[in-house]
Amino acid sequence: MALVEIKNLHKSFGGNHVLRGIDFTVEQGEVVCVIGPSGSGKSTLLRCVNLLEVPQQGQVFVRGEDITDRDCHLDSARQQIGMVFQQFNLFPHLSALANCTVAQTTVLKRSKAEAEQIARANLDRVGLNDKVTAYPLQLSGGQQQRVAIARALSMDPALMLFDEPTSALDPELVGDVLTVMRKLALDGMTMLVVTHEMAFAREVADRVVFMDGGVIVEQGPPADLIGNPKEERTRTFLRRVLDPTHVEPN
Amino acid sequence: MTLTDTVAEKRPGLSPRQRAQRSRGIQYAVLIVIVLVAAFTANWGQIASVFFKPEFVKSAFTSGLPGAFVKTIEYTAGAFVIGLLGGTLLALMRLSRVAPYRWLATAYIEFFRGLPAIVVFVAFSLLPLAFADLVIPLDPYGTVWLALGIVAAAYMAEVIRAGIQAVPKGQIEAARSLGMPAGVATRKIVLPQAFRIVLPPLANDLILLVKDSSLVFIIGTSAAAYELTGFGRDLANTESNLTPLVTAGFCYLIITLPLGLLVRWLEAKAARAH
């Protein structure tokens, strides 16, 4: 059974039909990178996986449970799905440690001591064991994003969603975050990553999905999809990202 | 450039700086004239003996001013707590998904914000007539806290609602994506940030509340329950001298001026955080 299975997903905002029938799956332990031009619906797709966006049509199964079903206990489904946002969204009134414990104690009902132990281990895992008491505003963007990863990991998720996790970062801070994500992938975490980092996708992803105009145009192993794309739309997109100075012949 | 040029052309003798200097000189001269006229025409002896007579200041202190000062603070503090709790509840109701809650909260807020506070106090003073059996506990505190708190809640609700709406949407998304139910996300993530945002305007409401507590004498409390204004008015009546009231007035400043400083400090702190 696939960890995530999406069937015929449709989502529109007003008259804007953003997702036009998406079918795809993520297997246990798989790292899937979603690429595509802005406005192609890749972030919306990701946000449908934990129902931050509610699709108008279609189903999302997580571990076989249909989370679009009204009877589904959405909060407990979300506990298994960690999410990392482009804008970090750390809780500014809480320290790095408390950011990582607040959901553990309130949702998972872990004791404070246990939650703090788990939080410290995860902050250590992202290389921030010296920033446990720091508040988000005292941290750099890269450090904030790594706290956000530790916060999600502290819930012991079965799946991690990354929504353009390095897009809001200064270029010199991107590497730290990607290093943490690479390590996570090597540890066997199931990851669904919306990204513009082609080098990361090529190196870390088991599968790359190219989206355009609200549909999946093409998907496959990175060597095939990035190295030798079949579809013209994929080729055009890749030419633009891999060589931004390239001018399209008319 | 062209503006100063044309002005300079009209008055060839004066540069802009000289004109500013002369204008300032005139303002000082007017001030000095007013002060001199006041100094020579007013009957200072009488003013001093009516408003600032030292023996009445002393008698105010011995006949219960400290007690009235404490009452003012007690009335204000209790009403602030009621206003804060009620205001938070009303703010959450206004943002509720259940439409009737929104209507109720909006009606309440508009009603009590539009009403002069004194009307509410007069109504409370008449309540025992209308409901003979009505007993509000903790007399006189219960009645005073309720009357002040009912009005304060309406004002604070709007402030708190604005604070809740100022918390970025991403905060709620992050909380919900961690599996927090809506209620937990509101309590643990949204409200603490909202209150941080609205701390300066809430402290401002507290200052207004200190002053509104002076309306309490309308309810008709006993002499033992007098706050500053009730006390000052009563003593000024018996002594036929305004000094007790002026003394009580200064006591308000002892409370409100530090609060004003607190508001400014909070505002500066909030400005630095952004």
Q: How far is CA A149 from the centre of its chain?
A: 10
Cα-based torsion angle of the residue sequence B212, B214, B220, B222 in order, rounded to the nearest 10 degrees: 130
Contacts with B171 from chain A: Cβ below 8 Å: 89, 91
Residue B3's pLDDT band, with cuts at 50, 70 and 90, is low
Query: Which residue on chain B is closest to A48 by alpha carbon?
Result: B177
Residue B142's pLDDT band, with cuts at 50, 70 and 90, is confident
Are A107 and B170 in contact (CB < 8 Å)? no
How many A/B residue pairs have CB atoms within 8 Å?
60
Alpha-carbon distances, residue A144 vs A39, A85, A194, B113 (angstroms) = 26, 11, 19, 43
Q: Which portions of chain A are predicted below pLDDT 50? A: none
Query: Which pair of tokens denotes residue A51?
Result: 């129902």
pLDDT beyond 70 at B6? no
pLDDT recorded at residue B130: 78
| Chain A nearest CA to B95, separation (Å) | 19
Are A52 and B193 in contact (CB < 8 Å)? no
CA distance B146 to B136: 9
A-side interface with B, Cβ within 8 Å? 50, 52, 75-76, 78-79, 81-83, 85, 87, 89-93, 102-103, 106-107, 137, 148, 151-152, 155
Residue B73's pLDDT band, with cuts at 50, 70 and 90, is very high
Higher pLDDT, B156 or B47: B156
Place of tokens 């004066």: B14
Query: Which pair of tokens denotes residue B157?
Result: 């609700």
Q: Indicate the pairing of strand A159-163 with strand A81-84.
A: parallel
Residue pair B189/B169 in contact (Cβ under 8 Å)? The answer is no
Query: Which residue on chain A is closest to B193 by alpha carbon?
Result: A93
pLDDT beyond 90 at B60? no
ipTM of the complex: 0.92
Task: Name which of A115-129, B89-103, B143-157, B231-245 the model is least confident about.
Answer: B231-245
pLDDT recorded at residue B84: 95
Q: What is the pTM of this model?
A: 0.81
In terms of residues, how long is chain B?
A: 274
Q: Sign of the C-alpha dihedral, residues B209, B214, B219, B222?
A: positive
CA distance A12 to A41: 10
Contacts with A137 from chain B: Cβ below 8 Å: 273
Contacts with B189 from chain A: Cβ below 8 Å: 91, 102
What are the tens digits of pLDDT across the range B108-125? 999 999 998 889 888 888
The pLDDT mean for chain B works out to 88
pLDDT recorded at residue B10: 60
pLDDT beyond 70 at B7? no
Q: Sign of the C-alpha dihedral, residues B164, A157, A155, A195?
A: negative
pLDDT beyond 90 at B94? yes
pLDDT recorded at residue B136: 78
pLDDT recorded at residue B223: 73
Three-class SS string for chain A?
CCCEEEEEEEEEECCEEEEEEEEEEECCCCEEEEECCCCCCHHHHHHHHCCCCCCCEEEEEECCEECCCCCCCHHHHHHCEEEECCCCCCCCCCCHHHHHHHHHHHCCCCCHHHHHHHHHHHHHHCCCCCCCCCCHHHCCHHHHHHHHHHHHHCCCCCEEEEECCCCCCCHHHHHHHHHHHHHHHHCCCEEEEECCCHHHHHHHCCEEEEEECCEEEEEECHHHHCCCCCCHHHHHHHHHHHCCCCCCCC
pLDDT beyond 80 at B224? no
B166 interfaces chain A, CB cutoff of 8 Å: no
Are B188 and A76 in contact (CB < 8 Å)? no
| Chain A nearest CA to B59, separation (Å) | 50
CA distance A106 to B183: 11
Mutate to test the interface with A, among B169, B171, B177, B191 (most CBs of A within 10 A): B177
Are A102 and B188 in contact (CB < 8 Å)? yes
Contacts with A82 from chain B: Cβ below 8 Å: 177
pLDDT recorded at residue B181: 94
| Chain A nearest CA to B193, separation (Å) | 7
What are the tens digits of pLDDT across the range B23-54? 999 999 999 999 999 888 888 888 888 888 88
Residue B238's pLDDT band, with cuts at 50, 70 and 90, is confident
Q: Indicate the pairing of strand A207-212 with strand A31-35.
A: parallel
Contacts with B184 from chain A: Cβ below 8 Å: 106-107
Alpha-carbon distances, residue A9 vs A60, A69, A84, A164 (angstroms) = 8, 14, 22, 21
B178 → closest Cβ in A87, A92, A103 = A103
Contacts with B177 from chain A: Cβ below 8 Å: 50, 52, 78, 81-83, 152
Interface of B with A in 33-92 (CB under 8 A): none
Whether omega before B201 lies within 30 degrees of 0, making that bond cis, reads no
pLDDT beyond 70 at B1? no
Residue B274's pLDDT band, with cuts at 50, 70 and 90, is low
pLDDT beyond 90 at B268? no
Which 8-state DSSP code applies to residue B186?
A: I
Residue pair B190/B164 in contact (Cβ under 8 Å)? The answer is yes
